[in-house]
Chain A
Amino acid sequence: MSNLLDIRDLKLAFKGLSGLSEVLHGIDLSIAAGERVALVGESGSGKSVTARIILGLLQETPNARVSGEVEFDGRDITAMRPRDRARLRGTEMSMIFQDPTSSLNPTFTIACQFAEVMRRRDPRMKQAECDARATEMLTEVSIPDPERVLNAYPFQLSGGMNQRVMIAMALVNNPKLLLADEPGTALDVSVQAQTLRLMHDLVEMHHTAVLFISHNLGVVREFADRVYVIYRGRIVEEGPTDAIFHAPGHAYTRALMDAVPRITGAGLPEVPEVSDDFLAPMVRHDGGAA
């Protein structure tokens, strides 16, 4: 079976005033249809830019140099015309951001924003049809009174509610791939846990593949089937979630794992300084990428 997303030898450099600075040093990453994959790394590791490349956003930035292949559903995104790439966004692939409240437009009602998203796929959709479909989606994300929410503005809703609206909106066009960049990080832990469970169930139901970008190992463990660990623009470890968490093979993954404080109270770990081991070759676990 071929993958939904195949990234091969992806490199990214930014042209600055002091020459080129390389951000991604050749990344290989693949996601099968319906698979939940996490990309874990610290800030500046290159995880968010990877998402932006998949969405085709960085290719259009004048000082970004992208090379390598990004094949989505059999088509090479990097070779596409900007217009065709734009057409994929919001239809075939969609995105959920860190802070739900600021990624919704405060000047339009939720119904309006839903309609706009749906008309990206079918521009002739009537408002009534849009509203019906939106109501259906809001019910799916367990929003008790969808009519009230549809007529509300984002600032009238709580952060957790907006996050659910974002999830519903991201899934309304039945995308094949959902990119989730640190979803819920801006929310309270209990709300975050709820929305992640909800998202987990929904993507399973809709058979949507997810690329889950996060720095939070605990959240990743609960959400993903498979994990990529990224460090300074290189994938250092890849494998099924269980394997990564029970037998981390790379020095960097181990350091990352050790550094997370435990609720069982093992005390604060001795964290190794950045070492050359972190740049050791990639560790690949069996049962990983197809």
Chain B
Amino acid sequence: MIRALRIISSNPLSLTGLVLVLLILAAALFAPLIAPFPTHNGSVVDFAFANRPPSTRNWMGTDLVGRDIFSRILYAYRISLGLGVVVLIIAAPVGTVVGLMAGYLGGWIEAVLMRLVDVFLSIPPLVLAIAVLGVLEPTLANAMIAVTVMWWPWYARLVYSIARSEREEGYVLAAEVIGASTAHITIREILPNCLPAIITKMTLDMGFVIIIASSLSFLGLGVQPPTPDLGSMVAEGARYLPDSWWMTVFPGLAILLAVFGFNLFGDGLREILGVDE
């Protein structure tokens, strides 16, 4: 732990990442306490203050119906992070199981599973998600499903490549000669050696999931109004560019900061956990 802090603090970029991630987490967690207008999270209308540029009352201005953009961004972070966490918590284990089985067992299981993974990876992610949402209704839950469907193969591939090289290690051979079960070898022996890479990837992916989710809602396929979402806020505001620039710029910056933060922090984590590229 002390070693981890030392490594992080010796690298200004990782430190920036850590600080950003902590700030964003705090913003999302304490949104109701921090937000100057907590009620603007829903369908509130305040035409008296509609379409105002940034001021001391509304730090990031207001939208067309007079809602405080800063407050809405804080709430939008809740949605984005929540979505990211749910997606990764489903995608990572699914991909891990597939990757472990394919990487360790080999043979036809490997062939079938990895071809399946290739099929998923060959479809551009956004297209895949749009296709899923075309079939299902565009809601938050379905957006999560769509993003999860496109995300798990990356974990499968990551874990597969590690498992394949670990399979050649002496400790796996030792366990095989002793006659340990496949479950023991994959879960107790190989999986712990994949975890650092998985955790690092999950951190890096938080940023990307936020982008993808925002892209979906930008296209009107994700979270539906009046729930605040960074992507749909950018989309709404884009119609009033360049005059009402704050409606687009601040949610856009919010996305940028989140992605930037998680990426920098993920890189630092990679170093701490000693994960190879």
Contacts and interface: CB of A to CB of B under 8 A. Distances in A.
State yes or no: do A and B come from one complex: yes
A17 B6 CA distance: 7
Interface in A7-65: 17
B64 interface: no
- State the majority secondary structure of interface residues on A: loop
Interface string B1-39: 001001100100000000000000000000000000000
Contacts of A17: 3, 6-7, 10
A17 B4 CA distance: 10
Interface of A: 17
B274 to A, nearest CB: 13
4 contacts: A17-B3, A17-B6, A17-B7, A17-B10
Chain B, interface size: which category? under 10
Interface of B: 3, 6-7, 10
Nearest to B2: A17
B10 to A, nearest CB: 8
A17 B10 CA distance: 10
A23 B10 CA distance: 23
A227 B85 CA distance: 62
Contacts of B3: 17
A17 B2 CA distance: 10
B45 to A, nearest CB: 57
A16 to B, nearest CB: 10
A64 B39 CA distance: 58
Contacts of B10: 17
A219 B249 CA distance: 71
Contacts of B6: 17
Contacts of B7: 17
A17 B3 CA distance: 8
A-B residue pairs, 4 tightest by C-beta: A17-B6, A17-B3, A17-B7, A17-B10
B1 to A, nearest CB: 13
A15 to B, nearest CB: 11
A235 B35 CA distance: 69
Nearest to B3: A17
A17 B7 CA distance: 8
Nearest to B7: A17
B89 to A, nearest CB: 33
A272 to B, nearest CB: 31
A17 B272 CA distance: 12
A17 B11 CA distance: 13
A135 B3 CA distance: 54
A44 to B, nearest CB: 20
Nearest to B6: A17
A284 to B, nearest CB: 43
A20 to B, nearest CB: 15
A242 B215 CA distance: 77
A17 B271 CA distance: 13
Nearest to A17: B6
A290 B3 CA distance: 48
B11 to A, nearest CB: 12
A17 B5 CA distance: 11
B18 to A, nearest CB: 17
A18 to B, nearest CB: 9
A279 B10 CA distance: 36
A213 B3 CA distance: 35
A21 to B, nearest CB: 15
A48 B133 CA distance: 60
A126 B217 CA distance: 62
Nearest to B10: A17
A101 to B, nearest CB: 18
B15 to A, nearest CB: 15
A237 to B, nearest CB: 36
B6 to A, nearest CB: 5
A17 to B, nearest CB: 5
A17 B8 CA distance: 12
A78 B67 CA distance: 67
A248 B226 CA distance: 87
A129 to B, nearest CB: 40
A119 B7 CA distance: 42
